[in-house]
Amino acid sequence: MEFEFWWLLGFPLFFALGWLAARIDIKQVVTESRSVPNSYFRGLNFLLNEQPDKALDAFLEVVKLDPETIELHFTLGALFRKRGELDRAIRMHENLLERETLAEEDRLKALVELGQDYLKAGLLDRAEEVFTRLLETPFSGQARRNLLEIYVQEKDWHKAISAATELEKLSARPMIAEIAHFNCEIAALAMVKGDLESAQKHLDEALSVHRQCTRASIMMGDLLTMQGKIEEAIAAWRLIESQSSSHMVLVVDRMLENFKKLGRLEEGLNWLKGLLTRNPSLDMFNTLYHAVMESQGAEAAYQLARDELRRNPSLHALERLAEAELISAPENRREVIQNAKSLIQRHVQRLTRYHCASCGFKASQFFWRCPACGRWDGFDPARHEE
Ligand SMILES: [Zn+2]
């Protein structure tokens, strides 16, 4: 084929067309950005710089200028809730729901948000009503999770068991640990009321759902003790070591008490010494120390504290050593030892706390469910010196 010079004319033509297309694109972007108020971009900027207060003011301005911005209503509602301004979050989502033109998907989304506002505000009845309405919608998974949270907060353990069972069917996440805890909660209430038969039934259920449920084994021992079955109670508690050895610390004092009732304290002390060698623990050592002090006297308790200090050096053991030494110390040394003991004690109280492995919350008391993040079994039963 021969080269024709007029083909060269095609190049400027292609350039011209490309330039024109780019102009049209830029023009469209500029028109669109002009239709979005400046305060929207200011709001976004504040949000990106983690300044939610300023972002909120900027977004409120946009909503005033353009009340039709539905997505912005959701953003604002979520921001209000995060800041704890729950009445404003509720109003935002209720206003959205009052719109007759709202699309079905947005209506359901607004209901989910409103339910969360109610839940956070502690308006559990209203939250329950909202999430129950969402059960047969595409948001059913989220609705069930929130309903479970509501039943737990209301301490309605029977409903919590049903909700968790349903949730387990829907999602791949096993809920056995939670269901076992709910049964333990019912058993605890039954024990307070003296309905030992119901307590037994729910503890059996807890262990059949979740064999590793240490709480059920602990409570089973308590139940047997209440029924005067001391030997069986000891056997039930011994099982805990195979479930989770760190949880043994929660029953050692009750265990020794039962050995004492049977007139076999010596056996109990030896058992505890063996356990302590396998699982060093501040609190187990404490229980053993007090039991030895009570049954064998200050000299034996002193020896115990000294051995512990060599094996597992801790302020805790040092405090016990000072305590035992103080008892037999001569008058001229008592003040020095007493001062040292008080100083150590202040540090020990400050440093030894239980903590949640999930959120890091610290407490002087052990909880089966973390009061901060709501996780079951989040707390490590062993206290540590930090
Ligand atoms: Zn927590």
CATH number at residue 205: 1.25.40
Q: Ligand 1 centroid vs 374 CA: distance in angstroms? A: 6
> What's the average model confidence in pLDDT over 305-323?
87
Q: Ligand 1 centroid vs 294 CA: distance in angstroms? A: 37
- Same-domain status, 331 and 273: yes
Q: Is residue 362 part of a domain?
A: no
CB 119 within 8 A of CB 127: yes
Q: Is residue 278 part of a domain?
A: yes
Q: Is residue 294 part of a domain?
A: yes
- Same-domain status, 260 and 346: yes
Q: Ligand 1 centroid vs 377 CA: distance in angstroms? A: 9
Q: Which residues does 341 contact at the CB level (< 8 Å), separation at least 6? A: 319, 322, 323, 326
Q: Ligand 1 centroid vs 372 CA: distance in angstroms? A: 5
Which amino acid type is present at position 171? S
Q: Ligand 1 centroid vs 209 CA: distance in angstroms? A: 24
Q: Ligand 1 centroid vs 179 CA: distance in angstroms? A: 19
Q: Ligand 1 centroid vs 237 CA: distance in angstroms? A: 27
- Same-domain status, 275 and 187: no
Q: Ligand 1 centroid vs 213 CA: distance in angstroms? A: 19
8 CB burial (10 A radius; 0-12, 13-18, 19+): exposed
pLDDT in tens, 243-252: 998 999 999 9
Q: Is residue 60 part of a domain?
A: no
**pLDDT greater at residue 48 or residue 27:** 48
pLDDT in tens, 157-205: 999 999 999 999 888 889 999 999 999 999 999 999 999 999 999 999 9
- Same-domain status, 282 and 328: yes
Q: How far apart are CA 113 and CA 118, in angstroms?
A: 9
Q: Is residue 23 part of a domain?
A: no
- Same-domain status, 296 and 342: yes
Q: Is residue 12 part of a domain?
A: no
- Average model confidence (pLDDT) across the chain: 87
- Same-domain status, 325 and 297: yes
Final residue before a domain boundary, out of 236, 263, 278: 236
DSSP state letter for 364: S
pLDDT in tens, 254-279: 999 999 999 999 999 999 999 998 88
**Whose CA is closest to 346, among 324, 326, 318, 381?**
318
Q: Which residues does 207 contact at the CB level (< 8 Å), separation at least 6? A: 180, 213, 216, 217, 220
Q: Hey, what are 209's tokens?
A: 């759902």
pLDDT in tens, 86-108: 998 998 899 889 888 888 999 99
Q: Ligand 1 centroid vs 156 CA: distance in angstroms? A: 21
Q: How far apart are CA 205 and CA 259, in angstroms?
A: 28
pLDDT in tens, 3-17: 676 666 666 666 766
- Same-domain status, 284 and 231: no
Q: What share of the chain is helix, strand, coil (3-state, %, to 5)?
A: 75, 5, 20
Per the DSSP assignment, residues forming a β-bridge with 353 are: 384
Q: Ligand 1 centroid vs 188 CA: distance in angstroms? A: 22
Neighbouring CB atoms inside 10 A of 299's CB total 13
Q: Ligand 1 centroid vs 369 CA: distance in angstroms? A: 8
* Range from 44-58, 201-215, 336-350 carrying the lowest mean pLDDT: 44-58
- Same-domain status, 205 and 272: no
pLDDT over 70 percentage in the chain = 84
pLDDT in tens, 345-367: 888 877 788 999 999 999 989 99
Q: Ligand 1 centroid vs 250 CA: distance in angstroms? A: 19
Q: What pLDDT is recorded for position 338?
A: 87
- Same-domain status, 217 and 298: no
Q: Ligand 1 centroid vs 380 CA: distance in angstroms? A: 11
Residue 111 has pLDDT above 60, yes or no: yes
Contacts for 67-74 with beta carbons within 8 Å, 24 or more apart? 70/96, 70/102, 70/106, 72/40, 74/109, 74/110, 74/113
* Enclosing H/E stretch for 363: strand 362-363
Q: What pLDDT is recorded for position 30?
A: 47
Residue 386 — very low, low, confident or very high, per pLDDT cuts 50/70/90? low
- Same-domain status, 262 and 347: yes
- Same-domain status, 347 and 265: yes
Sign of CA dihedral 231, 235, 236, 241: positive
Instruction: Work out the end-to-end distance of the chain between its first and last CA atoms, rounded to an integer number of angstroms.
Output: 87
- Give buried/exposed letters for 25-53 (b at 16+ CB in 10 A, else e): eeeeeeeeeeeebebbebbeebbeeeeee
Final residue before a domain boundary, out of 204, 236, 268: 236
Q: Is residue 214 part of a domain?
A: yes
**pLDDT greater at residue 223 or residue 351:** 223
DSSP state letter for 362: E
Q: Cα–Cα distances in Å, from 217 out to 50, 61, 88, 260, 276? A: 48, 59, 47, 20, 20
Q: What is the DSSP string of 2-30?
A: PPPGGGGGHHHHHHHHHHHHHHHHHHHHH
Q: Ligand 1 centroid vs 78 CA: distance in angstroms? A: 23
Domain that holds residue 184: 174-236
CB 322 within 8 A of CB 344: yes
Q: Is residue 192 part of a domain?
A: yes
Q: Ligand 1 centroid vs 362 CA: distance in angstroms? A: 8
Q: Ligand 1 centroid vs 376 CA: distance in angstroms? A: 9
> What's the average model confidence in pLDDT over 223-233?
96
Q: Ligand 1 centroid vs 10 CA: distance in angstroms? A: 70
Q: What pLDDT is recorded for position 3?
A: 60
Q: Ligand 1 centroid vs 357 CA: distance in angstroms? A: 7
- Same-domain status, 286 and 327: yes
Q: How many domains does the chain contain in total?
A: 2
Q: Ligand 1 centroid vs 329 CA: distance in angstroms? A: 44
Q: Ligand 1 centroid vs 381 CA: distance in angstroms? A: 13
Q: Ligand 1 centroid vs 154 CA: distance in angstroms? A: 19
